[in-house]
Structure 1
Amino acid sequence: MTQSLLSYYEAIEKASADMLEAARAGDWNHVIKLEGACVLLISQLKNAARSSALSSEEAQLKSRILQRVLVNDAEVRHLAEPWLEDIDKMLQGRPKTLH
């Protein structure tokens, strides 16, 4: 069962690398799609983690994987900043409504 836990972490890392590649290409629709896949993988991981634990060695590997995911995420966010600023500028001129 622990191998499947690590495979979730590896799949999340792969998705985050794919998100970064899509962000570098300016394919924000694909970034959003991959983000949804990550959310699903994380949910599945949480479920699987309830019934198994990682060994010390596996926990170290998990930590290295998560560090790479965080680096990828930070770069995607950095690439998205100009895009998000454009959206903010577009919304500034619109009247604000309360729901």
Structure 2
Amino acid sequence: MNSELLNYYEAIEQASADMLSAARTGNWDEVVKLEGACVLLISQLKAAAHQQQLAPNESALKTRIMQRILVNDAEIRHLAEPWLEDLDHVFKGKSRMVH
């Protein structure tokens, strides 16, 4: 049976996978919504981690989960780059108009 801490890691992994799915379809509003859910889960994980620790056999699973989260995050960032560049151009254009 998984510990409460491991459940948090798995929930964060699922949210990151959902974020990636939304990013692949260009649904950036959903990505932002899910990012907020991740922030909340991470906060809850940190609080729970003060009260308990992972069992030794769970640490290896945590490492694999974290690696998958990092892969998802990297792909989300890659998919977001064109959108962020467009946003940067919009802001640069507005700042020139303001001055």
Match of 2:12 in 1: 12
What are structure 1's unaligned runs of at least 5 residues?
A: none
- Name the structure where helix makes up a greater proportion of residues: 2
What are structure 2's unaligned runs of at least 5 residues?
A: none
Compare 34-43 and 47-56 and name the one that shifted more: 47-56
In the aligned structure 1, how far is the partner of 2:75 from the partner of 2:23? 9
Aligned to 1:26, the other structure's residue is in SS state coil
Q: Which amino acid aligns with 2:72?
A: N
Output the TM-score relative to the length of structure 2.
Answer: 0.93
Percent of aligned positions that are identical: 65
Q: Which amino acid aligns with 1:9?
A: Y
Q: How much does 1:56 deviate?
A: 1.5
Tell me how large the CA RMSD over aligned residues is: 1.3
Match of 1:40 in 2: 40
Match of 2:60 in 1: 60
Cα deviations across residues 11-55 of structure 1 (Å, max 9, x unaligned)?
000000000000001000000000000000000000000010111
Runs of 4+ aligned structure 1 residues displaced above 6 Å come to none
Give the number of equivalent residue pairs: 96
- Structural mapping, 1:48-87, within 5 Å: 48-87=48-87
